[in-house]
């Protein structure tokens, strides 16, 4: 028992806050009076049962190591090992275990016990934190007795402007139960400070964001993807443009953790969507040092820099999931990161042909960044179920839709150069000849999400693409 040798003979685990434990006090008194080797551990009151020698187990170390789930529990110990046990009060079981006949005269033959204190929420984590069974390496910041922990997080700069959950050791240990990865494993080196983010550090920020433990694998994958050279989170922070990480989740894990891919998928109200994206942003802030006014130089930013995370509705989609299109096996849980601005709406309640609806999408897509800027920007198009039905019924694939939009948005150079149309913004003069695509084909990403009512879709424009900007990154989720 982890180096602690149990006393020989009979061992009883009780708690004062248990009616059945009170019921069997005469039985324990009878066993002690008979001279049997009896040791009593009390989980909540060292003075209970009164008049009997009691060992204080209010710290629950013994109960936890013995896997006590019900009190009273009576055990027989031989050579330091538990050889027999019974839970609750059942006269025949107690008589067999103690070899004493006629126990508890006047008591009912059977009474169920109560739940052990070891089953109370947070107890296991509290004991682990106290005893160092699971050792956390992060520095423990002391908070004064009169200091509000939530306010302390604000004052120390750990917040994105909204209240965070104080990351106590107990909460962090509970969060770490969401993954099989070791707490000390380095997940990524996070810009702009290029600090190592371990699984433990990510778990701390996931606690602060309000995540549940089962969200942690998605958070870890998002952190890994964000810190790749392709995604270039350092550049995304440093640009004065609007963008931040947009997290799209595919595969079974999205349903398993309760993510929203339907009604209000890009909005508030779903814990997993809200907190996974927020956890990523807090890691970038608290581990990497990416804070507004510092390296984060966005002129305006966008509300998605608090959190921007949703799942793709794969079940109703007419197309292959985004992660599959980007090279992963069907059925794989995955995260795709896209450097996106806020979403803009596409309103089209009249189009019933794919050709017409594609023109609506193209007309709205032309405004990404600026109607006269081409090739340097990507777009993520979130197609709602009602719009997707138009393409499904016509048999249009993603590739067909992408091809049509690229064709529709191949623009005459004379219209997009600086000064054309009386607007100084635009492409350099060398673009005046020929025609130019607004988007490179690989720069148009389509996902299916949203409620089943409403002929609306959404466009999320990007920052600059290519080596000098950001490219979407897809990673498989590791549990």
Same domain for 82 and 154, yes or no, is: no
Is there a single domain that holds both residue 330 and residue 190?
A: yes
Whether 110 maps to a domain, the answer reads: yes
Domain that holds residue 157: 150-476
pLDDT above 70 coverage of the chain, percent: 97
Report phi then psi at 5, rounded to 5.
-90, 130
Task: Count structural domains, the chain.
Answer: 2
* φ and ψ of 123, to 5 deg: -65, -45
437 inside domain: yes
Do the domain assignments include residue 195? yes
d(CA 234, CA 268): 27
Looking at residue 39, its pLDDT comes to: 97
Judgement on whether residues 114 and 154 belong to the same structural domain of the protein: no
Residue 22 lies in a domain: yes
Residue 133 confidence (pLDDT)? 52
Q: How far is CA 139 from CA 127, 136, 142, 190, in A?
A: 19, 8, 9, 18
Mean pLDDT of the chain: 95
**Of the ranges 13-22, 125-134, 135-144, 242-251, which one carries the lowest mean pLDDT score?**
125-134
Q: What is the pLDDT of residues 159-215, one digit of tens each?
A: 999 999 999 998 999 999 999 999 999 999 999 999 999 999 999 999 999 999 999
| CATH number of 65's domain | 3.40.30.10
Instruction: Catalogue the long-range contacts made by 231-234 (C-beta closer than 8 Å, 24 or more residues apart).
Output: 231/337, 231/339, 231/470, 231/471, 231/472, 231/473, 232/339, 232/469, 232/470, 232/471, 233/190, 233/191, 233/284, 233/288, 233/290, 234/191, 234/192, 234/295
Q: Which residue has the tokens 């690989």?
A: 442
- Same domain assignment for residues 254 and 371: yes
Decide which of 125 and 248 is more confident. 248
The answer to whether the CB of 367 falls within 8 A of the CB of 440 is no
Burial class (CB in 10 A: 0-12, 13-18, 19+), 424: exposed
What does the pLDDT look like over 123-156, one tens digit per residue? 766 766 665 555 788 888 888 888 899 999 999 9
């Amino acid at each position: 028992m982890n180096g602690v040798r149990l006393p020989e003979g009979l061992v009883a685990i009780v708690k004062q806050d248990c009616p059945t434990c009170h019921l069997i006090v005469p039985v324990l008194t009878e066993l002690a009076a008979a001279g049997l080797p009896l040791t009593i551990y009390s989980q909540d009151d060292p003075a209970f049962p009164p008049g009997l020698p009691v060992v204080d187990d209010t710290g629950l170390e013994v109960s936890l190591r013995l896997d006590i789930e019900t009190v009273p529990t009576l055990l027989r110990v031989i050579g330091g090992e538990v050889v027999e046990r019974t839970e609750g009060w059942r006269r025949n079981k107690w008589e067999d275990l103690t070899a004493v006949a006629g126990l508890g005269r006047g008591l009912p033959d059977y009474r169920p016990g109560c739940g052990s204190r070891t089953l109370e929420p947070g107890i296991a984590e509290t004991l682990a934190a106290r005893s160092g069974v699971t050792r956390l390496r992060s520095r423990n910041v002391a908070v004064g007795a009169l200091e509000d922990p939530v306010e302390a997080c604000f004052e120390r700069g750990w917040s994105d402007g909204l209240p965070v959950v104080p990351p106590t050791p107990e909460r962090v240990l509970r969060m770490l139960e969401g993954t099989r990865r070791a707490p000390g494993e380095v997940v990524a080196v996070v810009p702009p400070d290029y600090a190592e983010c371990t699984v433990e550090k990510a778990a701390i920020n996931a606690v602060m964001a309000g995540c549940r433990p089962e969200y942690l694998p998605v958070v870890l994958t998002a952190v890994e993807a964000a810190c790749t050279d392709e995604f270039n989170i350092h550049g995304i922070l440093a640009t004065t443009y609007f963008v931040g990480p947009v997290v799209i989740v595919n595969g079974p894990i999205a349903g398993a953790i309760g993510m929203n891919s339907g009604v209000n998928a890009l909005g508030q109200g779903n814990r997993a969507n809200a907190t996974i994206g927020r956890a990523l942003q807090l890691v970038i802030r608290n581990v990497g040092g990416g804070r507004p006014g510092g390296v984060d130089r966005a002129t305006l930013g966008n509300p998605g820099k608090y959190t921007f995370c949703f799942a793709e509705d794969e079940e109703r989609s007419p197309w292959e999931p985004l992660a599959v299109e980007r090279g992963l096996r069907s059925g794989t849980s995955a995260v795709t990161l896209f450097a996106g601005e806020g979403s803009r709406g596409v309103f089209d309640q009249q189009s019933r042909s794919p050709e017409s609806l594609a023109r609506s999408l193209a007309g709205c897509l032309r405004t990404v960044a600026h109607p006269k800027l081409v090739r340097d920007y990507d777009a993520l198009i979130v197609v709602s179920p009602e719009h997707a039905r138009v393409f499904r019924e016509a048999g249009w694939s993603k590739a067909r839709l992408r091809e049509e939009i690229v064709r529709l948005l191949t623009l005459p150079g004379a219209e997009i150069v600086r000064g054309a149309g009386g607007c100084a913004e635009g492409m350099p003069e060398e673009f005046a000849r020929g025609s130019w695509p607004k988007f490179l084909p690989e720069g148009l990403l389509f996902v299916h999400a949203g409620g089943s009512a409403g002929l609306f879709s959404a466009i999320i424009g990007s920052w600059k693409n290519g080596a000098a900007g950001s490219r979407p990154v897809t990673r498989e989720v590791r549990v």
